[in-house]
Amino acid sequence: MNGLTELDRRIVLATQGGLPLTARPFDILAEQLDVDADLIRQRMQRMLDRGAIRRIGVVPNHYKLGFRANGMSVWDVDDEKIAHLGERIGGLDFVSHAYHRPRRLPEWPYNLFAMVHGKSRDEVARKVKLIAGILGDAQRQHEVLFSTRVLKKTGLRLLEQTVMTARKSEVA
């Protein structure tokens, strides 16, 4: 499955909740998984190189840090220019995610989605203006959708599910 070995999957399960907060965290993992700490670091390096691990470090909680307003800005951008412009928008430090998604015409003309974080709706609106400036003429129209309520939020711990299913039915 996607080039992940059984050991990789065990490393994911052991670390997706976090690394041990101790001077030698990989020794703790080595003990848990009953393999050499060097091997764990090698496998994690390989997952980093292949993009299975995006990064290793602190994951800030926007909301707790005072960034209470989040707006999903959606943009109708020239298809020829979206790849180049999308990269620029994704690189802004107030944009946490930027995606190219299909339009659903006629109801939905937008093909670029960028999640914008700010301390208030006003701040989000100012940041959306900055994005509009970068997109310039390549952008025909846009909107900002503010979330008004979280209806459901569960973590995406899919691997656990996948591994468990695989164990049950040997499909993976």
Partner 1 sequence: MDDLDRRIINNLQGGFPLEDRPFRVAAARLDISEERLIERVRAMLADGRLSRFGPLYNVEMMGGSFSLCAMRVPVERFEEVAEQVNSLPQVAHNYERDHPFNMWFVLATESMDGIAEVVAELERSTELPVYEFPKLDEYYVGLRFNV
* Out of 105, 150, 168, 170, the residue judged to bind partner 1 by CB under 8 A: 150
Per rule CB under 8 A, count of chain residues that contact partner 1: 77
Is residue 162 at the binding interface for partner 1, with CB under 8 A as the rule?
A: yes
Torsions phi, psi of 155, nearest 5?
Answer: -70, 155
* Out of 33, 39, 41, 76, the residue judged to bind partner 1 by CB under 8 A: 41
Q: How far is the CB of 1 from partner 1 (least distance, A)?
A: 5
Q: Tokens 């060097």 label which residue?
A: 38
CA-to-CA distance for 72 and 99, rounded, in angstroms?
11
Query: 171 is written with which tokens?
Result: 């499909």
Considering only residues 50 to 109 of the shown chain, the ones binding partner 1 according to CB under 8 A are 50-62, 64-65, 72, 82-83, 86-87, 89-91, 93, 96-102, 104, 107-108
Return the closest-CA partner of residue 91 out of 114, 69, 65: 114
Spacing of C-alpha 83 from chain mean position: 18
Is residue 158 at the binding interface for partner 1, with CB under 8 A as the rule?
A: yes
